[in-house]
A = this chain, B = another copy of it.
Amino acid sequence: MVINKVDIQTQIADAVEAARRTNPLVGSVTNAVTVNFVANAQLAVGGSAAVVYLSEEGEILSNVGNAFYINIGTLLPIHEHALPLIAKGLHDSAKPWVLDPVAVGIGTLRTGLLMQFKAYMPSIIRGNASEIIALANLWDNKKGETSNVRGVDSTDAVSSARAAAVALAKQTGGAVAVSGKTDLITNGEIVVYSYGGSHYFEKITGAGCSLGGITAVYAATSSPFIAALAATAIYNLAGHRAESKASGPGSFHVEFIDELYKAKAVDVANNQFEVEEA
């Protein structure tokens, strides 16, 4: 397999520009803590954000929208009924959607929902290493590995989730993004490591969620793999730039949104990454 970095960079730049040009409508079911951050991050990269709870509204958005983001961070009773219907609607209408399996393993509702999502084939799965390993275990791919989900934080290194990520990508036919100090993105055949970001990402709530939300914006106009790469690249570029201007996590958050908004496609495409075969 010949891996052409320049070709990947061209597609990343195209994804960044397409989102700004077409203003895709991205629906979300996402957690209460970071919903504002997710929506603002989506707007900053060119998307339009619509958040819903009701299954009927989610199904309407699945039809009229261009992509969807599902984040199970703070589950409410309504999600038990609504989320499987929305995920099924996305699958049936072949709309790209991003799954953020936050805190997989905590509680029976969360586990039950994630088990149902398996049939609906998320285009992109984004999580930290512990979450990706745990989801792969749950979906029966990597029974031998163990993960360490602790609340919303990862206690595993990104590299430890490589096999799980590749397995999930092959299973879904989409892409998987593992977030951490260095991010790993794979489509099951190629593994990309993306560099940059900031230590402040661990000091603000919703860094991972906003990455998931941005990924859904790019999924509206690009392949799952390119969408995951573009989102991770702009996120790492903006995080790196924001850190240099910030004096703490509060100002970092503000600068990060500004840098997402200002990032040029060519700079996103040139954000450091490495490619290897899966």
- CB of A61 within 8 A of CB of B256, answer no
> Can you pick out 15 interface pairs between chain A and chain B where the beta carbons lie within 8 Å of each other?
A33-B36, A36-B36, A36-B37, A48-B153, A53-B75, A54-B109, A57-B109, A76-B76, A248-B260, A249-B261, A250-B254, A250-B256, A251-B255, A251-B258, A254-B254
A32 close to chain B: CB less than 8 A:
yes
A25 close to chain B: CB less than 8 A:
yes
| B residues near A78, Cβ cutoff 8 Å | 76-77
Interface residues of A in 16-39 (CB under 8 A from B): 25, 27, 31-37, 39
A244 close to chain B: CB less than 8 A:
no
A74 close to chain B: CB less than 8 A:
yes
Complex-state Cα separation, A152 to B51, whole angstroms = 9
A168 close to chain B: CB less than 8 A:
no
Chain A 70-111: CB-based contact to B (< 8 A → 1; otherwise 0): 000111111000000000000000000000000100111110
A48 interface neighbour in B51, B110, B151, B248, Cβ under 8 Å = B151
**A75-B54 contact in complex given A203-B43, A247-B262, A257-B248, C-beta closer than 8 Å:** yes
- CB of A51 within 8 A of CB of B25, answer no
- CB of A107 within 8 A of CB of B152, answer no
| B residues near A249, Cβ cutoff 8 Å | 40, 43-44, 257-258, 261
Complex-state Cα separation, A78 to B109, whole angstroms = 15
| B residues near A206, Cβ cutoff 8 Å | 36
A253 close to chain B: CB less than 8 A:
yes
A248 interface neighbour in B37, B65, B77, B258, Cβ under 8 Å = B258
A50 close to chain B: CB less than 8 A:
yes
| B residues near A204, Cβ cutoff 8 Å | 40, 43
